Amino acid sequence: MEPVLRAEGLAKSYQMGEVEVRALRGVDLELGAGELVVLLGASGSGKSTLLNILGGLDVPSAGRIVYRGCDLTLARERARTAYRRDHVGFVFQFYNLVPSLTARENVAIVTDLADDPLSPEEALEIVGLSHRLDHFPAQMSGGEQQRVAIARAIAKRPEVLLCDEPTGALDVETGKLVLAAIARVNRELGSTTVVITHNAVIAAMADRVLQLADGRVTADHRNTSKKAPAELAW
Amino acid sequence: MRALDRKLFRDLARMKAQVIAIALVVASGVALFVATMTTYRSLRASEAVFYRQERFAQVWSGLGHAPLGVARDLAALPGVTAVDARLVARAILDVRGLDEPASGLLVSISPRPGHELNDLYVRRGRHVEPGRADEVMVSEAFAEKNHLGPGDSVTATVAGHRTSLHVVGIALSPEFVMPVEPGSAAPDDRRFAILWIARDQLEALLDMTGSFNDVALLLAPGTDERPVIAAVDRILAPYGGAGAYGRANQASHVMLEEHIDQLRGLTLLVPSIFLLVSAFLVNVVLARLIATQREQIGMLKAFGYSNARVAIHYLELTLLIVVLGVAVGIPVGAWLGRLMAVFYATFFRFPVLVLELEPAVAAGGAAVAVFAAVAGALGTLRHVVAMPPIVAMTPEVPAFRRTLLDRAGITPLLSTASRMIVRNLTKRPLRSGLASAGMALAVAVVVVGGSSADGLHRMRDVQFEAVQREDLSIALGHPRALGTARELLALPGVQRAEPYRVVPARLLGRGRREDIALYGLPEGGVLRNVVDTNFRNARPGAGVIVTAWTARRLGLVPGDLLSIEIRENRRRVVTARLEATVEDPLGEAGYMELGALGRLLGEPETYSHVNLLIDPSRAPALYAELKQAPHAMAIGIRRSTLASFRSMSDASLDFVRTIVLVFSVIIAFGVVYNTARIALAERGRELATLRVLGFTRGEASAIMLGEIAILAAPAIPLGLALGYLLTGAVATSMTGSRMHVPLIVSPPTYAFAVVVFVVSALASALVVRRRIDQLDLVEVLKAKD
């Protein structure tokens, strides 16, 4: 089966003052449709850089990244924006909601751009926030805000859902609720989902676990049995 | 250098575009303030020195004629230190190279240099010498315009006699800094000359040996001129005294004061407004700039820096920006001030220029800028520094709630992007209001800069296109019978001749008095009109129409009975009814119907002046004839006076106006740019998030630019209105005793202000747009809100 995303020899280095930082040193990777992948790594392992390149936010210094046969490395800024807009959902550690918009409107800001989106209400229903539609971010807890962010990410029915430390700013119980929402989206919409985290416990909910260290994939294995997020404990 | 100091300079370097924009606004305000204060003070000082060095007289009077012995009575008056009992005469001049007849004022002097009062400053050639026939010195402006120098000669018709006068010197006099021909609305240097001639020569020409018809007096310092004026009037009354007056009514002095007053309007009020505007803007901008530093302040406090140290750090940042502006503004201002002072001293032909670069002026300008900036910074700092570090480090999450717009069901009608814009603007109404107000001030400043000449231009248009419609006006030596006016139609090219009467008069009312020219205008005449600043015509009848501000000063309203002292030949007081007032911009005048004035004077059917409409193709023939006309005392040519007025007012105003405009444009741009940049700094993260979510650059920019546009839109009408009000203040300050500058802002001025503002806004928008294009999308994901 054709993978959704394929990375070939991805390398990324950038200049930090006078030091050249080599964040990725040759990553080869294939992500299949509907896979739930957890990307584990310590800070500085290059996992965020990898995620940014997968999401079309950044371009590699070397190597290729191909989305459904289309080489993103060659794409111009406009095409990468279109790629993000049409195919990618992002969830960030710090939610990045627009404070002046309600939960419903924060989702609508994406559905307004999409071709065949879920309605904002449906998306918020999936993350269990039907009762918070007209609340502003400042009126919601961190977990609720993160779930709005997930609803915003999935409302366009993205092929790829990228989550950067989605539970990083949350307590355990809230974190589990958020992970459950991600798992449900992955199951019901079939989005290829990548969750990056330094919390190894979370790996148990994945179809596949990638280890990243020093800019290289050091391990890649499939879970034979997945745990439900509610069963996780850290 | 300590780490905090290093941070200071790094921060400055990082914000360099904004720092430069703020510093430029400060520099503009300070530079204009320093430059114009320097100019104004230098001109005042130069005027004073010129007057003192040349012993400018303090009291004058014209009279019929009196024996020289009377001058001894004048010299004996308490406080009088010198008396010049002289002869003056009007002349028609024939100058080589000048087609039109020119007018001259012959003034008798002692044939030796070093006069006791109204001494002459000889620029070229020499003083007239005793015993040399027909020698004259000529006023410099006329000599320059007509390329006259020592060795040339002019032909003059004086009291009906034609005589050739030899120019031996070119001179300046404090009495004639701005030589204005009596009865003319403006100086016409090309066509009006002062000729100084030895007393015995003029005595012979006028056949007035041993007598005088004009007198100037110098007073001891500190002498009150009023009792002297009264005494002079009394002494000269039997000799046809035309009324003594002080410097406040001396034609050249009045005109000079008018010009300096106009400059004062531009040079004191406008820069003060600019300085205050730039101070306000710097205040607003710095307050917001520091608000964007809130997390860093929290961080510094968390490390253990004291509140005071943190506050000082940010005050240093503020001060460095302002000091940068001041450091640029003061030298630029001083340089411009010197340039302007030299320009105006040359324009007024002051023989000496006293440059006054006062440190106090510079310090004052700097103090206003620094105070405003520090006040703006402190306002925010007090608030931020008072927060516990952890609160300050947590970014301010604006707590949006449902607003009236949501409840009223208005927001659902808007697109999501529009909702963001509307909620952001209404969330902080004060901040939005201040941003709009700042931009409105930017518009207003350009309106003020641009409108400075509008009132003057309107005044000129009223005077030379509506009030005066003649081609030529002739002043006669003596009033003549009305029937003779028809003879003028026989002159070559004359198509229409309208006789009128002018008589010097003094209006008396409520314990005050105003000297005016009282006009008798013929019924059905079209060449001389009574017109207000809005081009509305009034037609005088049996009563008197008086300039509105003269009436106001005397406390008179239409319907009142006026006491008018006729100050020609036999002095007497007559009464007439005040029929109406007219907002006449130039001069102090009264108007009646010609017949009514004749009856009032007891001299019916006479005229003293005549207005002519001519066939331009036959002008040369007419001019040639008029150069020899025995009855004419002076000839005015409207087009020539208008051209002179235009070139003078253009020269004197355009220079400072251009400078004011340049600064106003800089201020406008600085404000709009900073408003946009700070808005972007506050919202950068949100925009980057939208970009990550798939918003195109255009879509993300539209939100930011839409917000700026909504703030900018009300700034335009508001700024135009504010500009109009400020222009009113400037017009008031430019109004002297003789000239009332109407409050006019022309459509092109408004249009220019709007264009400057819109261009500034578009340019700023482009910068913001580029910044949004360059937003670091990866960075924003890492940072916490």
Q: Is it the case that residue B52 has pLDDT exceeding 90? A: yes
User: pLDDT for B179-195, tens place per residue?
Assistant: 888 778 778 899 999 99
Token look-up 């919601």 returns A140
Between B596 and A17, name the one with better pLDDT. B596
Please tell me the distance from the alpha carbon of residue B179 to that of residue B720, in angstroms, as a whole number.
38
pLDDT confidence band for B481 (50 / 70 / 90): confident
Work out the average pLDDT over B240-258.
Answer: 87
Q: A59 and chain B: CB distance < 8 Å anywhere?
A: no
Chain A residue nearest residue B773, CA to CA: A77
**pLDDT value of position B735:** 67
Partners of A78 on chain B (C-beta within 8 Å) are: 696
Contact B663, B28 (CB under 8 A): yes
Grouping H, G, I as helix, E, B as strand and the rest as coil, residue A200 is helix
DSSP-assigned letter for residue B468: B
**pLDDT value of position A204:** 92
Please name which of B224, B309, B229, B258 lies closest in space to residue B43, comparing C-alpha atoms. Answer: B258
Work out the average pLDDT over B432-439.
Answer: 84
Between A160 and A1, name the one with better pLDDT. A160
Residue from A96, A119, A157 to probe the interface with B (highest B Cβ count within 10 Å)? A96
**pLDDT value of position B396:** 64
Q: Is it the case that residue B500 has pLDDT exceeding 90? A: yes
Q: Is it the case that residue B299 has pLDDT exceeding 80? A: no
Q: What is the DSSP string of B211-261?
A: EEEEEEEEE-TT--HHHHHHHHHHHHGGGT----EEGGG-HHHHHHHHHHH
Give the Cβ contact number of residue B397 at 10 Å.
12
Residue from B416, B424, B427 to probe the interface with A (highest A Cβ count within 10 Å)? B416
**pLDDT value of position B61:** 94
What is the residue-averaged pLDDT of chain B?
85
Q: Is it the case that residue B720 has pLDDT exceeding 90? A: yes
**pLDDT value of position B527:** 92
A195 residue type, one letter = V
Work out the average pLDDT over A220-230.
Answer: 89
pLDDT confidence band for B501 (50 / 70 / 90): very high
**pLDDT value of position B784:** 47
CB atoms B783 and A94 under 8 Å: yes
pTM of structure: 0.73
Q: Which of B47-61, B184-198, B653-667 shows the lowest per-residue confidence on average (mean pLDDT)?
A: B653-667
Chain A residue nearest residue B401, CA to CA: A136
φ and ψ of A90, to 5 deg: -115, 140
Grouping H, G, I as helix, E, B as strand and the rest as coil, residue A40 is strand
**pLDDT value of position B785:** 42
**pLDDT value of position B649:** 75
Task: Give the HSE-up count for residue B784: Cα atoms under 13 Å, Cβ half-sphere.
Answer: 9
Please tell me the distance from the alpha carbon of residue A221 to that of residue A207, in angstroms, as a whole number.
9
**pLDDT value of position B230:** 92
pLDDT confidence band for B196 (50 / 70 / 90): very high
pLDDT confidence band for B321 (50 / 70 / 90): confident
User: pLDDT for A163-182, tens place per residue?
Assistant: 988 888 788 888 888 899 89
pLDDT confidence band for B780 (50 / 70 / 90): low
Q: What is the DSSP string of B657-673?
A: HHHHHHHHHHHHHHHHH
Chain A residue nearest residue B423, CA to CA: A100
Q: Give the list of residues 6+ apart from residue B231 with CB closer than 8 angstroms, or none.
A: B77
Element (H, E) at B499: strand B494-509
Between B160 and B65, name the one with better pLDDT. B65
Beta strands A192-197 and A36-41, pairing class: parallel
**pLDDT value of position B393:** 66
Q: Which of A188-197, B272-281, B514-523, B530-539 shows the lowest per-residue confidence on average (mean pLDDT)?
A: B272-281
Alpha-carbon separation of residue B717 from B36, B659, B666, B757 (angstroms): 29, 25, 20, 12
User: pLDDT for B570-614, tens place per residue?
Assistant: 778 899 999 998 887 776 789 999 999 999 888 888 899 999 999
**pLDDT value of position B66:** 94
Chain B residues whose C-beta sits inside 8 Å of any chain A C-beta: 397-402, 415-417, 419-420, 423-424, 427, 685-686, 689-697, 699, 777-778, 780-785
Q: Give the list of residues 6+ apart from residue B552 with CB closer than 8 angstroms, or none.
A: B581
**pLDDT value of position A167:** 87
In total, chain A counts a number of residues equal to 234
Work out the average pLDDT over B216-231.
Answer: 94
Partners of A113 on chain B (C-beta within 8 Å) are: 693-695, 699
CB atoms B781 and A113 under 8 Å: no
Its sign, for the CA torsion B369, B372, B376, B378, is: positive
Q: A48 and chain B: CB distance < 8 Å anywhere?
A: yes
Q: Is it the case that residue B364 has pLDDT exceeding 90? A: no
**pLDDT value of position A38:** 94
Residue from B432, B689, B773 to probe the interface with A (highest A Cβ count within 10 Å)? B689
DSSP-assigned letter for residue A234: -
Please name which of B477, B474, B410, B328 lies closest in space to residue B26, comparing C-alpha atoms. Answer: B328
Please tell me the distance from the alpha carbon of residue B57 to that of residue A229, in angstroms, as a whole number.
104
Q: Is it the case that residue A131 has pLDDT exceeding 90? A: yes
pLDDT confidence band for B781 (50 / 70 / 90): low
